[in-house]
Chains A and B, each alone.
Chain A
Amino acid sequence: MSIEISQLSKTYNQESDFPVHAVKSLDLTIEQGEFVAVMGPSGSGKTTLLNMIGGIDTPTSGSVLIDSENICELDDKALIAFRRDHVGFIFQDYSLLPVLTALENVEFVMQLQGLSEKVCRARASELLTMVGLGEQMHKVPSKLSGGQQQRVAVARALAPRPRFVMADEPTANLDAKSTSELLDIMQSLNEKEGTTFIFSTHDQRVIKRAKRVIVFEDGKLTEDKQQ
């Protein structure tokens, strides 16, 4: 699986007198199994880029080819199915459903795929155990710490066996210890299961552990280095 981005642009408020060019004619290729950090100052367009790759926002122009399929041309329904089956999302504020337990949160995204209850239950508890929450899986999010909630979010993102995981500042609300635990988990999943991770961050400690770092400034790619 590969992600091929070509001439991707996003302009907000296009019609107005002050259009905002959040992403400008971007070309970028990400291969299967990469562990990519997107960094850059605030307002440089990181979130906008990740949203377009994840199929929750549409570009103004350009294309995002996932295994040669242009997701920008998918209709609403196909796009939802694409996200459900191929993209895992990890959000800065975790965004778990507060009325469901950790286990139910992870099961839910698999049930959306139409997997059987048994399969969902087994994979959800396996993933939660893997992220170190084997004992906590019947707790609702409000009874978990921020770091634990974010680990549930990682389990949820991986549950439907997505081709890649998008994480917009996943560690922004976490302390140093939780951040490093989370990175350990993401890294081991990346190495063991070959899942592609793309995350944006401001955090130098996170950037240090990425295999590839893309630097963004004012909607443009200014640096792209393997490390």
Chain B
Amino acid sequence: MGNNSQVARKKAMTAQIVKLAWRNLWRNKIRTGIMLASMVFGLMGVVTMMGFLSGMYVSMIDNAIAWQTSHVQVQNKRYLEDPDINEVIVNPAALYSELDRLPQVSAYSARVVADGMVASARANRGIRINGVNVTDEAAVTPIAAHIEQGTWLPETGRYPVVVSQKTAERLRLSLGSKVVLTFSDVNKDVTGAAFRVRGIYRSPSSSFDDANLYVRQQELSKLAGVEGVHEIAVLLDASQSGDSFDNQGAELVAQALMKVSSTQNQIRDWQQVQPMLATIISQMGVSNGVILLIFVTAMGFGIINIMLMSVFERTREFGVLMAVGMVKSKVFLLILLESCLLGVTGAALGLLGSFAVIALLGQTGIPLGSMSEGLGAFGVDTTLYPVLKTGEYFGVFLIVVVASMLASLYPARQILKLRPVDAMSHKH
């Protein structure tokens, strides 16, 4: 019982010190208010910036997955080393049946790919010719929804081709224009045919647009004399693929496919297909960290400054506290708490504001305007939606609070060095 009441009194004492710290914090309302305002607006700026950057990376990654890598890809190992048209996927039937069976797979598209040339009457360019199954491809990539003119590849009609807007501009093509596609067949002989432009697409990535066009698989296979496919792109269910930074779902599917696949095939998740995406993800943490570090350092100096002012102008008061029997550890706790409460209040208000800004921009989006041209090369959308995870808000909160506590250490130390008489003889 004696022990219990001792604990209760200790708690009451701590509550008393918290109360004292809170009231001390608001002694100079203007000074505390200005510091809080600078923390709040600074945090809103920093957090919005972090959300903006994350949004940019998310957009980049999501677009890369949607258009280029999908979640999982299968190729023949030798095809990856040297994309020879003869190096088709070994025993694709086993893969198809596994893909049909796996519940987390939403769609897959098997492609015949030929590197060749596209020529109009005016010019020609090197290009990757994707021979696709019309419905499968439309289920795996968003291409059908990104046709700017005309339509996605029709099931009927002779030799339709869908080219990008960029290719159309370069080769001065319009709907109905005729282009000649040339490439090597399985016997290494040059072959080709005239195709008619049925659709013009535009993806978020200008470099992707530069390099890809689409034809129907039957026609390409026949022209090239290929039996089989070169690439299977697999899209997972949105609920199964995790968020933009997480490839665990993809890894699991890749592992399942490996079990049934011939060892001559290579099965890769999206981070393996484009290692740059993994680099971007780790890089993102660093850039957000640097922004946060700069802000927290600036804020820390601000807090040191006002804690120094507020503590030194009360030197005598601390002397009195020590004289009437407040132990140094409690005086220290008092100063630490004042700074900590400042940090907690500033961080809470700042993050609340940031949350509101990010939620608002999440609705409206940030139009990139003229910047979108340059960022288009990296596959960033023209409108960005800033994102920040709950964990990141929490992390920022914690860092701000810890930094504000650290900022009080120096002023607190200066006070604790004094004897009560010296502190009390301090005049202002």
Contact = CB atoms under 8 A, between A and B. Distances in A.
Contact of A84 (B24, B324, B328): B324
B325 A100 contact: no
Interface stretch (A49-57, A66-74, A122-130, A174-182): A49-57
B419 interface: yes
Interface in B271-313: none
B327 interface: yes
A156 B320 CA distance: 12
B20 A116 contact: no
A105 B402 CA distance: 30
Contact of A99 (B24, B320, B325, B421): B24
Given A80-B325, A81-B325, A116-B8, A56 B421 contact: yes
B327 A77 contact: yes
A209 B421 CA distance: 29
**Main secondary structure on B side of the interface with A:** helix
B364 interface: no
A85 B327 CA distance: 12
A160 B326 CA distance: 13
Nearest to A114: B9
B319 to A, nearest CB: 8
Given A57-B421, A100-B20, A111-B12, A95 B320 contact: yes
B317 A95 contact: yes
A172 interface: no
B20 A97 contact: yes
B62 to A, nearest CB: 53
Contacts of B323: 54, 56, 83, 89
B242 to A, nearest CB: 51
A97 B325 contact: no
A113 B330 CA distance: 13
A112 B13 contact: yes
Contacts of A109: 324-325
A54 B5 CA distance: 30
Contacts of A89: 320, 323-324
A56 B419 contact: yes
A201 to B, nearest CB: 19
Contacts of B320: 89, 91, 95
Contacts of A56: 322-323, 419-421, 424
A119 to B, nearest CB: 10
B324 A115 contact: no
A108 interface: yes
Contacts of A80: 322, 325-328
B14 to A, nearest CB: 10
Interface in B395-428: 419-421, 424
Contacts of B327: 77, 80-81
A225 to B, nearest CB: 29
Contacts of A156: 324
A9 B103 CA distance: 91
Contacts of A77: 327
Nearest to B422: A57
Interface in B310-340: 316-317, 320-328, 330
A117 interface: yes
Contacts of B12: 111, 116-117
B326 A112 contact: yes
A43 interface: no
Interface centre among B10, B320, B324, B330 (most CB of A within 10 A): B324
Contacts of A84: 324-326
Contacts of A160: 325
5 closest pairs, A vs B, by CB? A84-B325, A99-B23, A95-B320, A56-B420, A57-B421
28 contacts: A56-B322, A56-B323, A56-B419, A56-B424, A57-B421, A58-B419, A77-B327, A80-B322, A81-B327, A83-B324, A84-B324, A84-B326, A85-B325, A89-B324, A91-B320, A97-B20, A98-B27, A100-B20, A111-B12, A111-B13, A111-B16, A112-B324, A112-B326, A112-B330, A114-B9, A115-B9, A116-B5, A116-B9
Interface of B: 5-6, 8-10, 12-13, 16, 20, 23-24, 27, 316-317, 320-328, 330, 419-421, 424
Given A80-B328, A114-B10, 11 more contacts: A80-B322, A80-B327, A81-B325, A91-B424, A95-B317, A95-B320, A99-B20, A112-B13, A112-B325, A112-B326, A114-B9
